[in-house]
């Protein structure tokens, strides 16, 4: 066992694991049934360069892009959207249940995608509006806002963040963002080398 301040990892997990080809092919086939365009990396991570890891994380079709495309196809009216933002912090814990209930009720993937992304967009917008409103109440001018992160590259959400904003809005380039903790950790490790 190897230990650090956070966890204890059994040695067997630190060694490259050889998966039988038939099992690997079966797993890839299952993944392809759900997302024919997914980037699937089967090369051991130790054999990949940093650039290859970043390309795998950033390239190809993603769930977010598929959700964005579905949402854009929606023609049905959205149910009432309730956002929960307090003191600049959003609470999206109920969104998964709301989307599941909408799916059960309608079985309309485009409607559920549009509802989900609109709820996220309106929550982010409310997070931005609250401090800007506080500044206005104190007689201060609004500050420009820089949105960063993978969600901000979503073409469905961006208009929600910009429409009617009484301040300048900027979006960072994807190279300055990482979509998740694993991506952030890898990017930091690569930049530290």
Q: What is the DSSP string of 8-76?
A: EE-GGGTS-----HHHHHHHHHHHHHH-TT-----S-GGGS-HHHHHHHHHSS--HHHHHHHHHHT--S
Residues forming beta bridges with residue 8, ordered by sequence position = 3
Taking the C-alpha atoms of residue 140 and residue 20, their distance in angstroms, rounded to an integer, is: 64
Q: In this structure, which CATH number among 3.40.50.300, 1.10.645.10, 3.30.420.40, 3.30.2130.30 belongs to the domain 2-192?
A: 3.30.420.40
Band the pLDDT of 36: cuts 50, 70, 90: confident
Which range, of 30-34, 99-103, 187-191, averages the lowest pLDDT?
187-191
Tell me the two tokens of residue 69: 């495309």
Domain boundaries, the chain: 2-192
Buried b (16+ CB within 10 A) or exposed e, 104-130: eeeebebbbbbbbbbbbbbbbbbbbbe
- Residue that wins the pLDDT comparison between 107 and 56: 107
pTM summary value: 0.62
What's the chain's average pLDDT?
78
The residues, ordered by sequence, that sit 6+ positions from 128 with a Cβ below 8 Å of its Cβ are 145, 161, 165
DSSP class of 84: -
Evaluate if residue 42 carries a pLDDT over 50: yes
- Residue that wins the pLDDT comparison between 38 and 92: 92
Q: What is the pLDDT of residue 188?
A: 63
Q: What is the pLDDT of residue 7?
A: 47
- Residue that wins the pLDDT comparison between 8 and 36: 36
**Three-class DSSP category at 147:** strand
């Amino acid at each position: 066992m190897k230990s650090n301040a956070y966890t204890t990892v059994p040695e067997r997990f630190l060694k490259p694991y050889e998966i039988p080809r038939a099992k690997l092919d079966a797993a890839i086939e299952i993944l392809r049934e759900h997302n024919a365009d997914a980037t699937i990396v089967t090369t051991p991570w130790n054999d990949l360069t940093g650039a290859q890891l970043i390309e795998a994380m950033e390239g190809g079709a993603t769930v977010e892009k598929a959700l964005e495309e579905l949402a854009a196809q929606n023609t049905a009216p959205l149910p009432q959207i309730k956002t929960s933002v307090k003191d600049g912090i959003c609470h999206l814990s109920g969104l998964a249940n709301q989307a599941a209930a909408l799916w059960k009720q309608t079985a309309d993937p485009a409607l559920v995608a549009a509802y989900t992304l609109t709820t996220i967009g309106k929550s982010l917008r409310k997070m931005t509006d609250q401090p800007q409103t506080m500044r206005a109440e104190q007689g201060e001018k609004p500050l420009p806002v820089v949105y960063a992160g993978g969600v901000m590259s979503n073409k469905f959400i961006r208009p929600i963040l910009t429409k009617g904003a009484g301040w300048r809005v900027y979006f960072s380039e994807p190279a300055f963002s990482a979509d998740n903790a694993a991506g952030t950790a890898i990017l930091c490790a690569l930049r530290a080398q």
